[in-house]
Structure 1
Amino acid sequence: MLERYELEAFLTLAEELHFGRTAERLHVTTSRVSQTIRKLERHIGAPLFERNSRTVTLTPLGKQLRDELRPAYDQISASVTAASRGNSVKRAITVGFSAPWCGNLIVQATDLFRIRYPDTVVDIEEIQLADPLGRMRSGAVDLQLTEFPIAEPDITTGAIMFSEPRALMVPEGHPFAARESVSMEDLADATLITLADELIPRYWMDYYFPRRTPSGRPIPQGPATNFWPEVLVHVSQSVGVSTVSLRAERFHSRPGVVFVPFRDAPTIDYGLMWPSAGRNPLVQPFLDTIADAAVSE
């Protein structure tokens, strides 16, 4: 029989795939995590992780165990949390968003949801672009409105809620700043500020921060940032340029930064996603509600 700490250690390591970060989250030493996982593997009689000096990956058995244990663990944790609040009757859902305009729609949907389902608790959380999937995979977020494409085996994607034209954010004195529009080919003549991609799928990075133009010309890569405000600072200081939703100008306009529309870039599509396993039963009602809120927006 699994002890609670073994379960927590296994599921946390299955999410982080890094002993150091797992130890930090559990507030224990790395050696304690290693000992716990080894004990669990001896108990099961088979390895759950493949590890070497650089990487940690789940074995097929480890993936199966993670997928089977995570829903039950999340349900137990949610029940304990509700009981600790002295309000075990209320059901809860946490909804994430990755851009202010996504957040506006989530807030509208939440207001409507609370009217329709007054016995529920809705928490709203901003998701950092440098880690677009981490909060969902940890079980902290049940539903998320985010930039597509998303193509992950453990995540289900739903409808695209809206699409936005793309723009290039450039310093005020940049040659592109005086243009009415720019082309994807123009990126070869600029330095592109990007995001740190350790936690971002490569296909997502290629869609938003390409390394080559459509004709194959290399795009100079600038600093890789961890947070959106860093991108704004780098652009305003003439370090480089960055791709962005054209709507961002209404939210992030500042001195020294100009937003120039693309004339040939694909749109930025914002869609909904949720965990494939152990879906919160409130996800479907919220999906219905956000669809109604989007129509009335």
Structure 2
Amino acid sequence: MELRDIEIFLALAEELHFGRTAERLRVSQARVSQSIKQQERRIGGALFERTSRSVRLTPLGERLRDRLAAGYAEIMAGIEEATAAARGQAGSLTVGMFDTHPQEVAAVLDLFRQRHPQCELHVREILPTDPISALRAGRVDVALLWLPIHEPDLVVGPELFAESLVLAVAPSHPLAGREHAELEDLGDYPVVHPDGPIPDYVWQAHTPAVTPKGRPVRPGVTVVTLAEAFTAISTGRVISPIGSYSATSRLRRDITFLPLTDAPLLRYAPVWRSAGETPLVRAFVRAAADTL
């Protein structure tokens, strides 16, 4: 029995109507009738009872349907998996992002999963103070990082989204009573400094080395994680620009967030190793661009 004949039999067993079966499979009604007759001759018994008003399975047809349905499902699953693998859509993909962004990119992850159900998608947290090491070590395949990224071994995709910067200070800090802050204020107080291998030019997109008037921004407490930064800020010893997504997801009584009126936006894009570009990486970037 040919695979197409199995499809015709199973479709007719479900539709119980020659016309609907033909329309569903995009073949002629005569092709459906011919296939069923050939199968019945080959088997040596009727598979369907036909009248002018109805079509129904015979007991023999019911047994054949039950046996063929499971086997057909396995065959089609195998074909789909092989096709997905050939197109680079199977396997696994690990996406790195800061812990403040999963909700912002949830729609991207959902769309990617819908388009590539055969792919195992993993999300891994990366630290703002060490955004690149996980990529280079192969622990993540693509990462959502703030720009700029100018590394010869990394590829930067299209800009996907942006967030504003706010200034985080302790409620007891002299700036806390202000309605807003400016980048020039960074020259008056020690500022959180990263304890990690983030390139200086990347960190300066977040916290500049000098104020707009050219005054140096003094590094204060060094931190590895956002939690460490907030703990240090809450003591009043340091202040720090913080992404607005971090501020809204980490509302705390011991931190006051002030709008930074003249700060640039943090702009984010997918980044991946040029030597590690795969069809799945490109598929994720397309899903991100289509969503965001």
TM-score, normalization: structure 2?
0.67
Give 1:244 shift: 0.8
Per-residue CA deviations over 1:119-164 (Å, capped at 9, x if unaligned) read: 1111111111121101100112111111111110000001111111
Other-structure match for 2:91 = 91
Other-structure match for 1:8 = none
**Partner SS, residue 162 of structure 2:** strand
Other-structure match for 1:185 = 184
Aligned pair partner of 2:199 in 195, 198, 201: 201
Are 2:264 and 1:283 equivalent residues in the alignment?
no
Distance of 1:157 and 1:90 partners within structure 2: 24
Aligned pair partner of 2:228 in 201, 219, 230: 230
Give the conservation status (yes or no) of the 8 Å contact 1:146–1:272: yes
Paired-residue identity, %: 33
* Gaps in structure 2 of 5+ consecutive residues: 1-88
Distance of 2:265 and 2:105 partners within structure 1: 21
Aligned pair partner of 2:209 in 208, 211, 215: 211
Distance of 2:162 and 2:288 partners within structure 1: 15
Give 1:207 shift: 2.3
Aligned pair partner of 1:253 in 239, 251, 254: 251
Structure whose alpha-carbon radius of gyration is higher: 2
Alpha-carbon RMSD: 1.6
What amino acid is the match of 2:132?
L
Alignment of 1:58-97 (within 5 A): 90-97=90-97
What amino acid is the match of 2:138?
G
Other-structure match for 1:160 = 159
Distance of 1:217 and 1:283 partners within structure 2: 42
**Partner SS, residue 233 of structure 2:** helix
Instruction: Return closer, same or farther for 1:164/1:106 CA change in 2, 3 Å cut-off.
Output: closer
**Partner SS, residue 158 of structure 2:** strand
Give the conservation status (yes or no) of the 8 Å contact 2:90–2:116: no
Per-residue CA deviations over 1:206-254 (Å, capped at 9, x if unaligned) read: 2222232121112221011111110000011112101111232211111
Runs of 4+ in 1 over 6 A off after TM superposition: none
Per-residue CA deviations over 1:84-143 (Å, capped at 9, x if unaligned) read: xxxxx941111111242x322443222222221111111111111121101100112111
* Gaps in structure 1 of 5+ consecutive residues: 1-88
**Partner SS, residue 139 of structure 1:** coil
Give the conservation status (yes or no) of the 8 Å contact 2:141–2:276: no
Alignment of 1:16-55 (within 5 A): none
Distance of 1:105 and 1:248 partners within structure 2: 11
Give the conservation status (yes or no) of the 8 Å contact 2:145–2:268: yes
| Count of equivalent residues | 204
**Partner SS, residue 279 of structure 2:** coil
